[in-house]
Every structure is written in C-alpha cells, then in structure tokens.
Amino acid sequence: MTEVNRRYAACVEYQGAGFNGWQRQKHKSRTVQAVLEQALSKVADHPVSVITAGRTDAGVHASHQIVHFDSDSERSSFAWCRGTNRFLDRDVRVLWVCEVSEDFHARFSALSRSYRFIINNNPICSALYGSLTTHEFRPLQIDVMAEAGALLLGEHDFSSFRAAGCQAHSPVRTVSEFNLASQDQWVWFDITANAFLQHMVRNIAGALIEIGCGKRDLHWMRTVLEATDRTKSGITAGAQGLYLTGVGYPPEYSLPSSSKQVAYWG
C-alpha cells in the first residue's frame, strides 16, 4: 500500500534569548529550526524539514511563527502538537498543527507579517525583563513617536531601514498597519506589512527612539524614508524587544486565527 505524503502547517512560539536565531546552521549553535526539526522527526519517525514564514535573528522572539512540513506518517493534529512539545525545551512550543493542502507554503502563501516591538522606558534596566524588552533610559514622547510611525504607512522604498546584508530583491514594502501605545514604563508598537526587510523593524524602532527622546524631530522620519540610504538613519534597536506576532494567509487555507497579544503588553 502506497503511503500518502501529507502537508501540515504549525504555529510556533519561542523566547529568542536562548537561540542563535531561527535558521539551522552547520555548526552546533542552538537554533529554533534545528530543535523543532529534531522534535518533529521523533514524532514522525523519519527526518522532517520545516519551511518558515520568516527567519528571525538571534534574540528575537515569536508568539505566532508559522511553518509547514511534509510527512507520510499518519498522526492527528493533537498527536503532532503534544508529541512534539514533549521533546522541546520550555523556551519553544508548538501551539497548533493542522493538515493543509499541498499548495500551502509558509513563506510564499503569506500575505502579511506582523511584529510587536516592546521598550522598557525606565531609568534602570529591568533584571526580570532584560532579555524580553529593549531598554531606553531617556523619557520618550509617546505622541510624537506615534505621529512619526504613521508616516511609514503605505508603499515605500525602505532602503533606509534595510540591513547592509539584506538579500531581498526589492526594498519596496507596503506597511498596512502601525499602532503605538504605552502603559506605565512600557512602550510598544505593532506594525504589519506585506513583508519586511532584514532588520527593518529594529531600524524603525531605533529611529522612533531617537525621535521620542528628542534627539530628532518628527519630520526626520520622512527625511530618512525619502533618503533611501541606510547611512542617513539611526541606530538598530536591540533584538530582545522584537516579537513576530502574526502571519496572514488567504482564508481558503482555514488556519487558526493569529493573536497579537504578547505577554501582558496591550
């Protein structure tokens, strides 16, 4: 009897502090992809490779990373999820697994990605949240930062917010959502686009911090954007404040809905 190869989508959550990024590496650095594939392979009883919606850098977290993998092993969604988590450390978890059509692709089927960036705006860096947020000791002007971030909405050439080593073919991206809020010492923003360039969100965060602390004025954001030159922008904010919070797909795939809630911020 011929075994049927099935395609599965899965949602993965991880705390990035203990990983050297997402992508599997030839040397023995701990990466999210490597530990996830190892766990899935044990449940499948054969080697499993995963394709992700988007690779994250060392220290970056995810509350809703999407992957897909193929397997000829017959397992229920519950068995895939429960079994895989049994072989994972506590800083990474599979939240759900569901069978999808063979044309689903975690990366190429995605319509949008969403990130949240969290800043601990406090004179003293937190001992508890140091690996989960980016610290800024200078007081931030929240309203000014929100106005500056709104200037990024729409389709633009984001070369000024692109890492030097970015391999994307085009720097043009469309930002469809930007919201910034604060509570007590916490400041965060949510941003959604059709896709992101390498370090794009962290570079935007760095520019917003410079504007928020008064080092730059509000209109500097537009000047930087229109310059299409990374050297005209500001710092790259720390990776520890960045969370991948959602990936959007066409409704016909019927994936479980994304949640943008990260910890208790927002």
As annotated, the active-site residues are 57
Ramachandran class of 121: left when φ > 0, alpha when ψ lies in -120 to 50, beta otherwise:
beta
Ramachandran class of 8: left when φ > 0, alpha when ψ lies in -120 to 50, beta otherwise:
beta
Largest CA distance in the chain: 69
Q: What distance in Å separates the CA atoms of residue 37 and residue 31, rounded to the nearest whole number? A: 10
The single residue listed with the structure tokens 């994250």 is 56
Q: What distance in Å separates the CA atoms of residue 45 and residue 88, rounded to the nearest whole number? A: 16
Q: Which of 104, 74, 53 is nearest to 245 (CA)?
A: 53
Q: What distance in Å separates the CA atoms of residue 89 and residue 19, rounded to the nearest whole number? A: 11
Alpha-helical runs (H) found in 114-214:
142-150, 200-212
The single residue listed with the structure tokens 């992700």 is 52
The residues that bridge with 134 in the sheet, in sequence order, are 119
